[in-house]
Homo-oligomer: A and B are copies of this chain.
Amino acid sequence: MVTLYGDKISGNCLKTKYVADHLGIKYNWVDVSVLKGESRTEAFLMVNPWGQVPALKAEDGGTLTQSNAIMLYLAEGSPLIPKTNWDRAKMNEWLFWEQYSHETSIAVTRFHVMFQDCNIADRDQALVSKGEAALDRMEEHLQENSWFVGDWFTLADIALYAYTQFAPDAGFSLDERPAIKRWLLQTAQTLGL
């Protein structure tokens, strides 16, 4: 059985749990609180020398990091990964975009606001603009499509759900983004949340 190390306040960590739960994959879950410094203890650095969660430990002891790489590993051969190579490519496109343009703006801003006592008015405006643009891009896509890739629920939806669900905590309004709100609800229902 694999072991997942994660902090449930982290969208990146939740991604791995969502995939495993959705696919009925059995796993041990080990809570690692980043805020309490538990990702920097000697014991955890034995699991992941880079001191980051999420991390997956395979039965044979190998460690895998990077939330989207862990999701891809857990979901191999499942319906969460499209069957055609073009649709897989479009899913990968969203996964890389999520890590480059969405997580780096929305998740980082949320961290400042929720865990570093930053007031909404004092947020880093470059990150706010980047986050608003990311949400606009999602809204535009979801105005025309039910899900991010084809007509199916894929890893792209799970990756983007992880921090979009917390966007309002970071001061990003979804009020004028009805398609994102519809898709968030639909994703939560699909994941049984």
Please measure, in the bound complex, the distance between the C-alpha atom of A89 and the C-alpha atom of B60, giving whole angstroms.
15
State A88–B81 Cα separation when bound (angstroms): 14
> Could you say which interface size class chain A belongs to?
20 to 34
**DSSP class of A's interface residues: helix, strand, loop or mixed?**
helix
Q: Which residue of B lies closest to A92 (CB)?
A: B69
Q: Which residues of B contact A142 (CB under 8 A)?
A: none
The docked-state distance in angstroms from the alpha carbon of A76 to that of B88 is 10
**Which residue of chain B has the shortest Cβ distance to A137 in the bound complex?**
B50
Q: Would you call A115 an interface residue if the criterion is a C-beta within 8 Å of the partner chain's C-beta atoms?
A: no
Q: Which of A31-39, A94-102, A177-185 contacts B (4 or more CB under 8 A)?
A: A94-102
Mark contacts of A75-93 with chain B using CB atoms, 8 A cut-off: 1 yes-contact digit, 0 otherwise.
0100000000110111011
A85: chain B residues at CB < 8 Å are: 73, 76
Residue of B nearest to A103 (CB): B100
**A3 interface residue (CB < 8 Å to B):** no
